């Protein structure tokens, strides 16, 4: 080959060289751990193929409750968060003095690290915490009385967790939806009114369909993080009181470590969480059109 051909080949190789480190890194620290856990979960101690590990997880008495609690939290919190956020976004969708400051404030709950959010809610929800104090000052609680927030039934605890989660998440979902609303050209909605639509028909026939991609994004991102809820549950209620999937991983890996089965149990739960989240992620990539060949450039 001539010198010129070599040079051309070298130039063609540049992009591949630039992405090589990522590929190597992901092979070593993403693909390898994933393969290890998949293979590990299908083999027993002697290295034979087995489904024993999953049978063990399914027979864990906390498995069904964990799955159910996670499902309930995900279903109700995402639904509640979405509708409240949409309502707020529709009402706030206009330019106003202090809008950018308001948007920043709305980001703080989401920015709060989960350990800090845990500190905030546990100090509030104890019998002598700030929530009861506030209710007292507002006149809802008589002197010396307190509400035992964390002593209720399973249903009321789930409701509490959903509300706590909603506080943290609604503002950011609202921002996402606001951004989506502001990308809709005003003429479209105006056209709807010109043709005699009232607010609700315009909302239903024009605004919401145009908002669909944003809604999908917001909801699926929320699903992914809601499935992985655990820290607030543990801080408020401790381990095993209201089991959820990721809480089980930490429980088996840290709280009852040293048992023969601890690692396998933790691994089994890990795989289950990974599979569920991956399915949701794939669904997201599907609806966002990532699998369509002729997609345009994404920002």
Partner 1 sequence: MTKKTRRNIYRTARLTAFYIFVSGVTIAMLLPLYFIVSLSFLSTREAYRYPLPLLPALNVEYKLTHGERGYLLSVYDPIDKEYQTVLDTGDLEKMSVYMKSQLGAPMSVPEIEQQIARLEHEAPVFFTRRKSLLYNYETFFKVAGTGQAVPALIRSLEICAMTIAISLTIGGMAGYAFARYTFRGRDALKFSVLFVRMFPGVAIAMPMVIILVNMGFYDAPIGLSLVYSVGSIALTIWITASIFMGIPVSLEEAAQVFGATKIQAFLRVTLPLSLPGLAACAMYAFLGAWNETVAAIILTQFNPTFSVVVYQTVLGAVGQVNLAAAGGMVMALPAVIFTFFIRRYIHQMWGGVTV
| CA–CA distance, 26 with 194 (Å, rounded to integer) | 54
Q: How far is the CB of 295 from partner 1 (least distance, A)?
A: 7
9 binds partner 1, rule: CB under 8 A: no
Q: How far is the CB of 238 from partner 1 (least distance, A)?
A: 8
Q: How far is the CB of 292 from partner 1 (least distance, A)?
A: 10
Kindly state the helix (H) or strand (E) to which residue 23 belongs, with its residue range: helix 3-26
Q: How far is the CB of 121 from partner 1 (least distance, A)?
A: 7
Of the candidates 119, 65, 125, the residue with the CA atom closest to the CA atom of residue 269: 65
Q: How far is the CB of 128 from partner 1 (least distance, A)?
A: 4
Toward partner 1, which CB reaches closer, 88 or 161? Answer: 88
| CA–CA distance, 70 with 44 (Å, rounded to integer) | 28
197 — alpha (psi -120 to 50), left (phi > 0) or beta?
beta
**Burial (Cβ within 10 Å: 0-12, 13-18, ≥19) of residue 148:** exposed
290 binds partner 1, rule: CB under 8 A: yes
Report H helices in 130-207. Answer: 130-137, 154-182, 186-194, 199-202
185 binds partner 1, rule: CB under 8 A: no
Beta strands in the chain (DSSP E): none
256 binds partner 1, rule: CB under 8 A: no
Residues 227, 245: contact at Cβ < 8 Å?
A: yes
Q: Which of 130, 140, 148, 199 binds partner 1 (CB under 8 A)?
A: 130
224 binds partner 1, rule: CB under 8 A: yes
| CA–CA distance, 263 with 268 (Å, rounded to integer) | 8
Toward partner 1, which CB reaches closer, 39 or 64? Answer: 39
Q: Which of 67, 179, 203, 287 binds partner 1 (CB under 8 A)?
A: 179
Question: Which residues ranging from 62 to 121 are in contact with partner 1 (CB under 8 A)?
Answer: 88, 91-92, 94, 96, 102-109, 111-121
Q: Which of 33, 140, 154, 208 binds partner 1 (CB under 8 A)?
A: 33
User: How many amino acids of this chain bind partner 1 (CB under 8 A)?
Assistant: 100
163 binds partner 1, rule: CB under 8 A: no
Question: Which residues ranging from 267 to 286 are in contact with partner 1 (CB under 8 A)?
Answer: 267, 270-271, 273-274, 277-278, 281-282, 284-285
Q: Which of 129, 210, 256, 261 binds partner 1 (CB under 8 A)?
A: 129
Toward partner 1, which CB reaches closer, 155 or 293? Answer: 293
Q: Give whole-number Cα distances, 83 to 90, 173, 184, 229, in Å.
A: 11, 10, 19, 20
Scan for tokens 């509490």, then name that residue. Answer: 160
């Amino acid at each position: 080959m001539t010198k010129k051909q070599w040079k051309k080949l070298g130039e063609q190789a540049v992009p591949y060289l630039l992405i090589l480190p990522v590929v190597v890194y992901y092979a070593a620290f993403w693909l390898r751990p994933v393969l290890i856990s998949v293979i590990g979960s299908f083999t027993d101690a002697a290295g034979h193929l087995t489904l024993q590990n999953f049978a063990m997880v399914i027979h864990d008495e906390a498995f069904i409750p964990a799955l159910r609690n996670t499902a309930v939290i995900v279903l109700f919190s995402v639904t509640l968060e979405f509708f409240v956020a949409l309502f707020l976004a529709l009402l706030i969708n206009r330019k106003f003095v202090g809008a950018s400051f308001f948007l920043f404030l709305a980001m703080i709950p989401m920015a709060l690290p989960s350990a800090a959010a845990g500190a905030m809610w546990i100090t509030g929800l104890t019998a002598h915490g700030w929530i009861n104090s506030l209710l007292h000052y507002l006149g809802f609680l008589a002197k010396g009385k307190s509400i035992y927030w964390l002593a209720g039934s399973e249903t009321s605890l789930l409701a509490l967790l959903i509300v706590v989660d909603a506080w943290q998440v609604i503002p950011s979902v609202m921002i996402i939806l606001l951004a989506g609303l502001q990308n809709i050209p005003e003429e479209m909605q105006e056209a709807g009114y010109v043709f005699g639509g009232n607010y609700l028909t315009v909302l239903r026939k024009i605004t919401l369909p145009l908002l669909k991609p944003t809604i999908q994004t917001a909801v699926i991102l929320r699903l992914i993080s809601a499935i992985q809820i655990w820290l607030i549950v543990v801080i408020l209620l401790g381990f095993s009181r209201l089991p959820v999937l990721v809480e089980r991983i930490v429980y088996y890996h840290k709280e009852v470590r040293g048992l023969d089965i601890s690692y396998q149990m933790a691994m089994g739960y890990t795989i289950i969480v990974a599979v569920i989240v991956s399915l949701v992620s794939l669904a997201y990539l599907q609806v966002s059109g990532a699998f369509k060949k002729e997609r345009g450039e994404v920002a």
